[in-house]
Amino acid sequence: MATSRKKGWQYAEGVLDIPKRSVPVTLRHGKLGVVLLHRGKVLTRCYQSQVGKWGAQFMARALGVEVPALGKSVATSVSTGVLFRAISISSLDLRKTSTHLILDRMLEEAEFQRG
């Protein structure tokens, strides 16, 4: 059984509690969607819906990587600030236009922090 986004957030909160310059994460693209992992544990996921695909694209952009092809994964290392923004982006309901300003701001901040 797949780990839910809710359970992933519980684990992610523990990872984000201690600010770090470098946190290794892996973005994996599976049949059910795109999953962000830290040390093999789920931080968040974007489901295989249209909104989930958009969320995965923007989450990957915040991390500074591309969404991997189906069945593939990509590893990177980011600060907890960038990681927080990527996880938050994955939870946005992008069908609502009111979230687009938040998305733009989070992407801008993530890019600044990665630089």
pLDDT attached to residue 75: 98
pLDDT the model gives residue 29: 97
pLDDT of residue 7: 76
What are the residue ranges spanned by the domains of the chain? 5-9+19-114
The pTM of this model reads 0.91
Query: What integer pLDDT is reported at residue 92 of this predicted model?
Result: 92
pLDDT at 5: 65
With both helix axes pointing from N to C terminus, report the angle between 98-114 and 50-63 in degrees, rounded to the nearest 10.
Answer: 30
> What distance in Å separates the CA atoms of residue 65 and residue 67, rounded to the nearest whole number?
7
Cα–Cα distances (Å) from 82 to 11, 15, 48, 97, in that order, read 16, 12, 23, 23
**How many CA atoms lie less than 13 Å away from 59 in the CB half-sphere?**
35
Question: 34 and 45 in contact (C-beta within 8 Å)?
Answer: yes
Beta-sheet strand order (sheet of 33-38): 41-47, 33-38, 23-30, 73-78
pLDDT at residue number 11: 87
For the chain, residues with pLDDT lower than 50 are: 1
* Contact of 89 with 102, CB cutoff 8 Å: no
pLDDT in tens, 19-34: 999 999 999 999 999 9
pLDDT value of residue 1:
45
Within 13 A of 108's CA, how many CA atoms are on the CB side?
Answer: 6
C-alpha closest to that of 63 among 114, 28, 12, 9: 114
